[in-house]
Amino acid sequence: MEQTTIDGISLTLAGPVTLPLKWVGQDELLQQLLAAWMVIDDRDIPFNPRLIGKPGVGKTTLAYAAARRLGRPVYLFQATMDTRPEDLIITPVIGPDGKIQYAASSLVSAMVKGGVLILDEGNRMSEKAWASLAPLLDDRRYVESIITGLRVPAHRDFRIVVTMNEDASTFEVPEYIHSRLQPQIFIDFPEADEELMILKENLPFAPTRILKYVVDFLQRAHAADELYSVRDGINIARYALKMMAATEKDAAELLPLAVERVLGDEALRYLA
């Protein structure tokens, strides 16, 4: 594990992530996110965009694709209702020799390395956790660790994006944080042709007729404002294919069963 020293204190850095994600379609959203991160003058600073949408529409995938487009290391922090300020910054741990060591979070590691931090499901965090990030999200661009007494400045190449599900959050995000998380980029369910492209990208071994069946199901569900996502569609198609291989039954019989097993009885109303 990589180490760095700030003001005489040694920190163990978290490693970047490599995810099997590829953004398909809706290239305009990718351009909007990249534009938010641009710096057009030495006196300019990047935005801290937030991606908003229903679960499963691809917010994390979009963030990862944009970070990879920049060619920078990508770090991921999964926010929860239990996230504490020290979880976001620096945590003390007991080393092999019994002495206290300090582990930098993925956020601080991205700040130090000039990487991109994806703060996933940010509206799960409490105001106390958000307050620790306030100086990072404005022109001060630093965080302070109460545990170590360190003030950690962000590398000029550091970028952050926050994903938020469009549903009832555990905590209300405070207004002073909302004003720092701009612009807001909304991600909706894809159109039928884009949804088919996504399914083909994730299931290149699946027959097109099965994928079209799943897309038709998803489009009916979208029209009814259901939360079923392309992620659910991928799981339905994958499970149907596995059952076809295991039982040698026809897809027409197994696809409805896959829908029921993945999403429950109530989803069957959206089948053709």
86 within 8 A of 143, measured Cβ to Cβ: no
Of 2, 4, 1, 46, the C-alpha closest to 150 is 4
88 within 8 A of 134, measured Cβ to Cβ: no
- What is the residue-wise DSSP string for 141-184? -EEE-TTT--EEEPPTT-EEEEEEESS--SSPPPHHHHTTS-SE
- C-alpha–C-alpha distance, residues 134 and 139, integer Å: 10
Which residue segments constitute the domains of the chain, with CATH numbers given?
Answer: 3-186 (3.40.50.300), 192-263 (no CATH)
pLDDT tens for residues 51-101? 999 888 899 999 999 999 999 999 999 999 999 999 999 999 887 777 889
What confidence score (pLDDT) does residue 124 get?
92
pLDDT tens for residues 120-160? 999 999 999 999 999 999 999 999 999 999 999 999 999 99
- What is the residue-wise DSSP string for 104-118? E-HHHHHHHHT-EEE
Cα→Cα distances 247→130, 195, 205, 240, 256, Å: 51, 28, 18, 10, 15
What confidence score (pLDDT) does residue 256 get?
95
pTM recorded for the entire structure: 0.89
The mean pLDDT of the chain is 93
Of 68, 145, 52, 69, the C-alpha closest to 107 is 145
60-74, 105-119, 166-180, 181-195: least confident range: 166-180
What is the DSSP pairing of strand 50-53 with strand 184-186?
parallel
**pLDDT above 70: residue 119:** yes
